[in-house]
Amino acid sequence: MSGFLTLPLLWAQAGAAAPARPPAGAAPVLNIPPQWIPALKWLYLSGDPTFTTNDLFGGFLTWLKAVSLLCLIAWIVSWLVIGVKERVVGQGRWYDYIGVLALLLTPVSVLLRVLESVHRIPVYTVMGTHLTAYTALACVLAYLIWIEIAIGRTIKKLGRPLDVAVLIGVHLALVFGMAAGVILQRIGFLALIMGAGPNVQISTLQGLIYGVRMSGTFMGYIVFARIAIRCLNELWGVRGRRLYSIGVLSWHEANRRMWAPWVVLTVFLLVLAFTHWFLQPPRAAEMGRLYVGTLSLLCSILLTVMITVLAPLSLPTDIQQQTIYTVVSKPTRRLELIWGRMLGYMALVTVLMLVFGGISLAYLWKTVYTTIETTEAQALKAKKENRLTEAKLLTEQAQQLRTRMQARYPVMGSLAFLDSRGTPHAMGIDVGQDQSMRQPRSHIEGATPSAAIWSFGVVPDPFTRPGQPPIPLDRRIPVSSFLQEGTIESALDRVYALQMQIDADKQAKTQANLPASRVSQLDAAITRNQAELDRLRAEYDSLRKRADDFLAQSAKAQQAGHLDEARQLKLEATKLSSPDLLVEMSFNVYRTTKGKVGEPVYAEITAVNPRTGREYLGDVFAVKEYYTNRAKLPAWLLAGSNGALRIEIRCMTPTQYLGMAESDLYLLLPPGNFGFNYMKGLFGIWLQAMVLTAIGVCAGTFLSWPVALLTTIFFFVAGELAFAFLVDFSRQAIMGGGPFESLIRLVTHDNQMSDLTPTAGVVLAKTLDSLVMPLMSMIVYLVPNFQALDVTNMVADGFAVSWRLMGVNTLLALAYAVPFSLAGYLILKNREVAA
């Protein structure tokens, strides 16, 4: 999800207002009839650029809003460019002077604002408003007038009826948005979402400004619809055979002109041949992780570099060498030129990926698995020679290696705490320790009733705000994956389930004034289920008896000295019950000075099935710091649980604290195949390549190849390395100001926190920053979040990549690739390929 969740964040900076909160549960304040509330919510959801819901639909909506806004901007800019190029505007009429005035006024007004903020000039106020606000307003007005006239005239002269319709639609949207803003203000909705107290009044002007913000989104929708219609029209004409044909062409081009796959493959093999020279794991147990990480990084680098070079070169050479003439004079759609290329390159990436994946796996097999086997052999040998500490160490090492070479499916619960008095909390104690982990950890105190409780099943969100209805979280355990068919526990599970059904039916019967037909229906169900229950009970008993028999026989055989037979019989018995549940935990320990350093801290694990009330008291164990503790829970805990379970951890050592976050404890499903998981990890790289292909081909539609190449490289680097930075940047959350101010700090060795003395240079830098920052932050909308697509870290850590994650990532990749490719189509359609 992370990828989608970043989008609303990005969007949030588009407006200066505080992040909007959902207006849930606050309806009574509004003075409108309640049947209007849903419509109101929809208006707000669709119009407010910063507000979104926290699910896939919300992600889509955010995407739509971002794309729409970009469409609007592109629409305005393209008409302005056409107007200037076709000499409709920019010919020295009065409105052109207004445009020039606006251009000149912008830096002046920003400069005034900066001077004001660094106290170089006093704050002048005219009629209660800052002077700088007036200059800014004048600027905006001048721009508006010029843009309005320029676009109006250009469309009047060169536009087609549809363009005129869009122009009218955009204006209607503007009016609609402003009206909506004022209405929202009038009915008190704005006061609600802006979190204003009862005494604070939101003025009509604020309502109007808010309306303008909303109308930006609505105007975007209009242009988006116009563009979508055009794209759908084009889509209608797209044919598979032509896509295939152009795909084959790109494939041949990559192969025969660029030799790309061969180069890439050679580099891959060369690097692989020397890998073990320069890859030295810091700890023996880290070897698998390091190798897997390195190999997937190598795949990723080679493939993305290949795409970065191939994709942006293709169309420009085609146009430059004029080979495109023969193609576009055939019934080839412009979109087919783009998608066909993407298809060809992605086919190439797919083949290379399979080859790389196969070779990598073979290589891992040869290195890591051999290491595991030798380590295990060494451990065995050490044990035989009675070097027990060493044997234990080696076994542990082999164990760690093996863990990483799996595809573990963690089942996560929801974490809540009990404090030392036993009252529940969403968080434990904050010991003020460094919180550089993925999630903030909170702590429980040793030898007190305080506990960390992981709940599974459908559980209330512990972070629900007090006074609000709890939001249910679905953290159910997939019981059927743990309790195997035909085992004692599985039979027990069915017994419980049926018993509960019968109880529920009996309960239903006690209800007053039930119709007779319903009563007889329930009676029938109860008798039927009772019979079935008896049968299941018998089955369960017989299974248990068989298991007990096997165990008894085994014990007898053991006594008689038939060890092999005893083992065999014991195995038969274990086959009848489901394997234990594996729990993995990684806690950290916060030592107060009262404790002794070096002495282990102990913890205790208990588990309860909340539906049957059966409880398991686990062992007390020493917490391994920086390593993973494992515990086993008996499978019968899950019988009748319907996916619910509660696991409690207590710290046993007095005055010591145990720190944990939600993801620090999980149940493990039976692991999946590592090789398959590795390929799923590579799929993330495939998605990256797809986005990059779309960007490269799109850049090639209007740039010459060197520029297109640079653009693609920029996008890749920005998305891969600097995405988080860009997000911070666009939210103006970077310390030390914008690029120019930072430059000054760099030169003058000033730290990032201090206020710079407002010299002329500093003022200039701040002014430039204020002009550049908004433009730069636009880039954030365009740069794809490549890192979100990369899941190879999960693979290297030995966790399974879930299908859900892959689905979400695919959507995220498409959310970038589709708009880029369609933008390429629109550009290609509107340019002369022979000019």
Partner 1 sequence: MSHEVIIETRNLTKVYRDFWGRPKVQALKALDLRIHRGEIFGLLGPNGSGKTTTIKLLLGLLFPTDGEALIFNEPTTNVAKNERIGYLPEESYLYKFLNAEETLHFYGRLFKISAAERTKRVAHLIDLVGLSGAKHRQLREYSKGMQRRIGLAQALINNPELILLDEPTSGLDPIGTSEIKSLILEQREQGKTIVLSGHLLADMQDICDRIAILHRGELKELGKVSDLLTVQDVTQIKARNLTPNAIAEIQDVIRRHGGENMSVDHPTTTLEELFLRIVQESELHPGRRKVAEDAARDQAVLAKR
Between 192 and 327, CB nearer to partner 1: 327
296 vs 186: CA distance, rounded Å: 57
Between 331 and 561, CB nearer to partner 1: 331
Compute the least distance from the CB of residue 713 to partner 1, in Å: 24
Yes or no: say if 687 and 432 are a contact pair by the CB < 8 Å rule.
no
Compute the least distance from the CB of residue 7 to partner 1, in Å: 35
Compute the least distance from the CB of residue 831 to partner 1, in Å: 9
Between 330 and 421, CB nearer to partner 1: 330
Yes or no: say if 52 and 8 are a contact pair by the CB < 8 Å rule.
yes
Residue 585's SS3 state is: strand
In the numeric block, which tokens belong to residue 199? 């005494």
Between 256 and 594, CB nearer to partner 1: 256
Compute the least distance from the CB of residue 832 to partner 1, in Å: 5
Compute the least distance from the CB of residue 778 to partner 1, in Å: 24
Between 239 and 392, CB nearer to partner 1: 239
In the numeric block, which tokens belong to residue 700? 């090639």
Between 330 and 384, CB nearer to partner 1: 330
Compute the least distance from the CB of residue 263 to partner 1, in Å: 16
607 vs 571: CA distance, rounded Å: 27
593 vs 596: CA distance, rounded Å: 8
Tell me phi and psi for residue 160, to 5 degrees: -95, 170
Compute the least distance from the CB of residue 325 to partner 1, in Å: 5
Between 84 and 447, CB nearer to partner 1: 84
Tell me phi and psi for residue 135, to 5 degrees: -65, -40
Yes or no: say if 376 and 398 are a contact pair by the CB < 8 Å rule.
yes
97 vs 91: CA distance, rounded Å: 10
Between 70 and 254, CB nearer to partner 1: 254
Q: Which amino acid does the sequence have at 523? A: D
Contacts of 720 by beta carbon, 8 Å cutoff, 6+ apart: 304, 786, 787
Give the count of beta carbons closer than 10 Å to the beta carbon of residue 236. 8
Yes or no: say if 487 and 577 are a contact pair by the CB < 8 Å rule.
yes
Between 256 and 749, CB nearer to partner 1: 256
Yes or no: say if 645 and 477 are a contact pair by the CB < 8 Å rule.
yes
Q: By CB under 8 A, name the binding residues for partner 1.
A: 84-87, 237, 239, 241-242, 244-245, 248-249, 252-253, 256-257, 321-323, 325-333, 832-835
Q: Which amino acid does the sequence have at 664? A: D
Between 252 and 425, CB nearer to partner 1: 252
Give the count of beta carbons closer than 10 Å to the beta carbon of residue 259. 11
Nearest to 23 by CA among 184, 177, 189, 186: 189
H or E, element range at 665 = strand 665-672
Compute the least distance from the CB of residue 142 to partner 1, in Å: 24
Between 243 and 292, CB nearer to partner 1: 243
Compute the least distance from the CB of residue 246 to partner 1, in Å: 8
825 vs 804: CA distance, rounded Å: 31
Compute the least distance from the CB of residue 242 to partner 1, in Å: 5
Compute the least distance from the CB of residue 157 to partner 1, in Å: 13
Residue 362's SS3 state is: helix
Distance of CA 680 to CAs 292, 348, 470, 677, Å? 13, 18, 36, 5
Between 145 and 248, CB nearer to partner 1: 248
Give the count of beta carbons closer than 10 Å to the beta carbon of residue 110. 20
* DSSP of 268-308: HHHHHHHHHHH---SSGGGHHHHHHHHHHHHHHHHHHHHHH
Residue 722, judged by CB atoms within 10 A of its CB (0-12, 13-18, 19+), counts as middle
H or E, element range at 453 = strand 451-460
Between 242 and 475, CB nearer to partner 1: 242
Nearest to 121 by CA among 102, 108, 139, 105: 108
Compute the least distance from the CB of residue 312 to partner 1, in Å: 18
Compute the least distance from the CB of residue 156 to partner 1, in Å: 17
Between 258 and 805, CB nearer to partner 1: 258
Compute the least distance from the CB of residue 335 to partner 1, in Å: 10
Between 242 and 441, CB nearer to partner 1: 242
Between 329 and 748, CB nearer to partner 1: 329
Compute the least distance from the CB of residue 245 to partner 1, in Å: 4
**Residue written as token pair 């992600």:** 59
Residue 235's SS3 state is: helix
Compute the least distance from the CB of residue 243 to partner 1, in Å: 10
Nearest to 446 by CA among 662, 599, 667: 599
Distance of CA 767 to CAs 100, 440, 772, Å? 19, 38, 9
Distance of CA 752 to CAs 111, 391, 736, 760, Å? 22, 53, 4, 19
